[in-house]
Each structure stands twice: as structure tokens, then as C-alpha cells.
Amino acid sequence: MNRRVLALIVLIVAVALIPAVVHSDYILTLCVTAGIYAIVVMGLGILLGFTGQMSLAQAAFFGIGAYTSGWLTTHLGWPVWPAMACAMAMSALVALAVGYPCLRLSGHYLALATIGFGIIAQLVLINWKDVTNGSDGMTGIPAPVIGPWTFEHYNSYFYIVLVAVLACAYVAWRIKTTRVGRALEAIRENEIAARATGIDATRYKIIAFVFAGAYAGLAGSLLAHTTKFLSPDSYSFDQSVVFLVMLIVGGSSSIGGAILGAVLLEFLPEVLRPLKSSYIMVYGAAVVVMIIFMPRGLVGLFESLRARWRRGAPPPLGAAAAAEAEAA
Amino acid sequence: MLLELRDVVTRYGAVEALHGISIDVAEGEIVSLLGANGAGKSTTLKTISRILTPIAGEVRFDGASLEGLEPEDVVARGIAHVPEGRKIFPGLSVLDNLRLGATPRRANRATIDRDVDEVLGIFPKLRTLGGKMGWTLSGGEQQMLAIARGLMAKPRLLLLDEPSLGLAPLVVKDVMETIVRIARDGTTVLLVEQNAHLALQIASRAYVLETGRVALSGDAHQLLASEEMRRAYLGSAVRVEEPTKTA
């Protein structure tokens, strides 16, 4: 077994032991939330990191998943698992409908279009009271059940989230290492060259957008069945920006980076809480410093350090940019 | 004719870059498009591969119009475009760059691996670089990779845009010899070059573009010998070649 696989197994076992050694509900809540956010951020990683397409609507797909799952279980009395699958499918479907026209745009225009969609989605959650219960929020969402076990508490729900994170990471890894991943990366590196190579860029960008939506939908459903209460405030543009920052801080084209960024930025405010009201200032400054000094995120920093450790040349900060500069 | 352009007009926004050009390329030929910067050579290739859409005229490949096709459909029809500036994918390995070239064929992994091996037979230097990232390659290696990636689509027509640009003279010679070998193996080549002298040595016919129009055309050897061509284009090309002699 190679060392990387072994290290990964040790890491997974260590994470799986957290509920056995940590008894604070508060910390377990943060772990569960960080895991859920990691799924949303991994989805964004497929779109932005692998494919180079910017979206600021990830919170909207997160909300669509949460409310679909919440509505199916509370209004129609569905069991949690099929509701979760439907939530994922619904977010993916909406992503398909939004992505089809939007992904003919690129760069700033695409970012603006996704901001517009995010704002519309939040307004729908607030105003479609028959379904969402508006600003009062949706309550009474059940916990998932497997046979005699109900995953009511954070120490058991932790494992559902862990399995979901691992499954999503595996799917993202499969995407990255196969034909689809190569096509997505080619689009990120140079869309015109990709098209001249025969890659149907629009189709692949839509595939990436749908994956990003499906990941966010699954995460939204996971959140709904753990908090058991949904409020439209949680699915704002601000939250989309937080997901984007998590991805950039972690390392946008790396699956591990997406998870690391989500965990770090979920725990950072808690670490800074003793600073009281000035914490948000320090939090903001810390994020800015990380982005300036680690343009390829934490994972990029680790790779550079490892390369230096081996006395090889550090990898470039932006391989594509360097090659473009050389070609120009 | 394998490729026919009839009175093609292409615009960049409000600026008309091609004012009705007509070009023919027969199967098995190397045809060169020559001309100064801004003459419309690259625009012609981009129009053929549908990266740009012509506003008038017609492009036919193997008797069928390319009207309404997307660039990826054109590749699937059998036209591979190797764009100017060695547009490889720098963040992907040499092998992944090559595998991507096979995308339009939807072949299985084994077939693609066999084709990669076959293409690497034409570019032996690339064989030793398989796992290296695109950005680590030298200019000449990147150009070879770009052409090799184009061949992975198994095209009938290869559009090459300035393959000698920015390369050392010895590397240019290597690239030109490879183009001749590709044509000898049965792939038709439409070659855009600023270095007219070099291009005319390997092409069977050539078109000279001037500000979006075909100014001269004919047999490559006759053009090479023609006084008009020598005065307008080959003079500068010979000067470009001078460093070769002193190097």
C-alpha cells in the first residue's frame, strides 16, 4: 500500500474517533457543520477549481436542497433518505436550468448572473410562504433513521456527514482523474484551445455546474436534518462568498484543499471568539493575509514547502499564467 | 477538393478581417498561407475551425458545408486546428494533453493509449516527457506537443498556425521535417507561416494574403522563384534565416 493511501486511512480513522473523545456538543456541532460546508465547497471546487468557472450562487443551491428535503419530510411525510436524494436531484435540476443559459457567459458576466440567481432564489425562499413558511422558517424537520437507530444527536449524525464527505470526495477525485476531469481542466486552462481540440466546452461546463449544484443540494439536506429548522437568512449572497473564500483559502483545484478551507474557516471564528466584537476584523484580516501570501491556498503552500524540502524547484504560483507569459 | 473556401468574409466586431477569400486544398497536399502580420492568415484558420463565424461566403470540407457547426463538431468532422502560440494545456501532463486530443473520437482507453504510442513514434522526444507537466516543456517541445495533440484527433486536415514562431532555427528545422512526415503519412496540411522561405520549401502550393485578400497564389516552387514574391516577402524571410548561418 502506498504511503499516501496509508496516511489517508490513518486520517479518516482519526477523524472517525472524534465523537469518541470529544464530548462537547458545541464542538461536535461545529464539526458537523464544517463537514456539510466541505461538501458545498467541494462542489464549488469542481466548478471553479477544476473548470475555472466562477459561481456566487452556491448558497442558493444549498438552500434549494435544504428546503426540498425539509418540505418533503414535513409536508408529505417522506422518509429522510429519499427526500435527501430528491433534494440533491432538485438542486442539480435547477443548476441545469440556470447553467444552460448562464454558462454561455464567462468571467465577470457569469459571476454577475449567478449573483442575480442567488438573490432571486433567496427572495423566493422568503416570499413563497405556502411552501417555505417565509421568514418564520420551517420547523419540525425529522432526523434520519436507519433500522432501530435515529441519528438525533450530533455524535451520531457526525458519521452520516463523514460518510457523505468521503463519498463526495471520492466522486470528485474520480471526476478529476478521468476523461471528464481532463476536459474540465483543459477548459480552465484555455477554453479556445479546448474547443479547438474538440472538447464541447459548454456541455462540460454545464456538467460541472450540475455537480456543484448537486453537492450543494446534498449538503443543504444534511443541514436540514441536523438543525431541524430552516431560515432563508442562511442562504444569502454573503454565504456564497463565504463558500468561495473557503475554497480559495484551502486551494481551489484540490479536493483536500476544499475540505481544509471549510474546516479552517468554520473553526476560525470560534478560535477568535475571545476577541469579542473585534473578532470579525481579525477574521477578515486573516483571510486577506492568507489569500495574498498563499495564492494557491493552504494546499499550494504545503506543496511549495514539500518541494523546497526536497530541494527541488518550488512549483510555480500559476502554471497556466507562467506558460502564457512565456508564450507571449 | 478536401477543403474549399469561397468568398469568405469574417469580421472581428466592426472590423472586417477577411474580405472574401477563396482557397482550395486538395487531399494529401501541404498548402501554405503566407503574408505579413495582420494579413488574415490566423483569421482564415479560425474561420475554417469555426472559432470565428464568417458573415458571408462558404467553407466546405469533403463536399459538405461547415455552416452552423461548433468548433468541436469541426474537429469531429476531421479538421484539427493547432492554434498559434503553442496553446497546450500547461497544467496537464504531456500524456493528458495527448489523451485530450482524442476527445472528439470517443474512443476507449485502450485505443487511445495505442494512438498515443503511435503519435509518440512521430515525436520521439515527447516519449521521455510523458509524465511532465506542459509548463515545464521548452518552446520546441510545447510546439511538438501541440501538433501531436492535433494528430490525436486523427484528422484528415491539420491546420497549423505559425508552428515556427519563437523557436530556435534548429528546432524550426525539426518541426518542418515533422510536418513533411505527417503529410507523407496521409494527413493534409494547411500551414500558416510568416517565414515564407521555409514554408515554400515544404509546401506544394501557397496563397499569399494581403490585408484580408488573396494577393498571389500558385505552385510553391514557382512562387519561390517569382520576382514579385521575392521582392515583397522572401527578402525579409532570408534575413530571418541569417542567424542560422552564423549559429
Q: Residue ranges of the domains in chain A?
A: 26-244
Give the span between the Cα atoms of B220 and B200, in whole angstroms. 5
Please tell me the predicted confidence (pLDDT) of residue B195: 85
Give the range of the structural domain holding residue B76, as residue numbers without chain letter: 3-87+155-246
> pLDDT of A18-52, one tens digit each?
999 998 999 999 999 999 999 999 999 999 999 99
What is the band of A208 on the pLDDT scale with cuts at 50, 70, 90?
very high
CB contact under 8 A, A198 and B88: no
Does residue B161 lie in a domain region?
Answer: yes
What is the band of A313 on the pLDDT scale with cuts at 50, 70, 90?
low
Q: For testing the chain B interface, which of A177, A189, A197 should be mutated: the one with the most B CBs within 10 Å?
A: A197
CA angle A9, A11, A14 (to 5 degrees): 110
| CATH code: domain of residue B37 | 3.40.50.300
> pLDDT of B130-176, one tens digit each?
889 988 999 889 999 999 999 999 999 999 999 988 888 888 888 89
What is the band of B234 on the pLDDT scale with cuts at 50, 70, 90?
low
What is the band of A116 on the pLDDT scale with cuts at 50, 70, 90?
very high
CB contact under 8 A, A323 and B135: yes
Whole-number average pLDDT of chain A: 89
Region A222-227 average pLDDT:
96
Does residue B237 lie in a domain region?
Answer: yes
The pLDDT of residue A131 is above 80: yes
Q: For testing the chain A interface, which of B45, B135, B151, B154 should be mutated: the one with the most A CBs within 10 Å?
A: B135
Does residue B15 lie in a domain region?
Answer: yes
ipTM above 0.90, yes or no: no
How many folded domains does chain B comprise?
1
Where is average pLDDT lowest: A197-201, B117-121, B149-153, B166-170? B166-170
Does residue B59 lie in a domain region?
Answer: yes
Please tell me the predicted confidence (pLDDT) of residue A320: 47
Please tell me the predicted confidence (pLDDT) of residue A1: 64
Region B28-52 average pLDDT:
93
Pairing verdict, β B56-61 and B3-12: antiparallel
Handedness of CA A218, A220, A221, A225 (dihedral sign): positive
- Using CB atoms and an 8 Å cut-off, which of residues 126-155 of chain B contact chain A? 133-135, 139, 142, 149-150, 153
Give the span between the Cα atoms of A249 and A300, in whole angstroms. 10
What is the band of A312 on the pLDDT scale with cuts at 50, 70, 90?
low
Q: Where in chain A does DSSP place strands (E)?
A: 145-146, 149-150
Please tell me the predicted confidence (pLDDT) of residue A48: 94
Rounded to two decimals, what is the model's pTM? 0.83
The pLDDT of residue B240 is above 60: no
Which chain A residues are within 8 Å of B81, Cβ to Cβ?
A: 196
Does residue B140 lie in a domain region?
Answer: no
Region A87-105 average pLDDT:
92
Specify the residue for cell string 467541494. Answer: A42
Give the span between the Cα atoms of B226 and B78, in whole angstroms. 34
Does the CB of B156 have a partner CB in chain A at under 8 Å?
A: no
What is the band of A300 on the pLDDT scale with cuts at 50, 70, 90?
confident
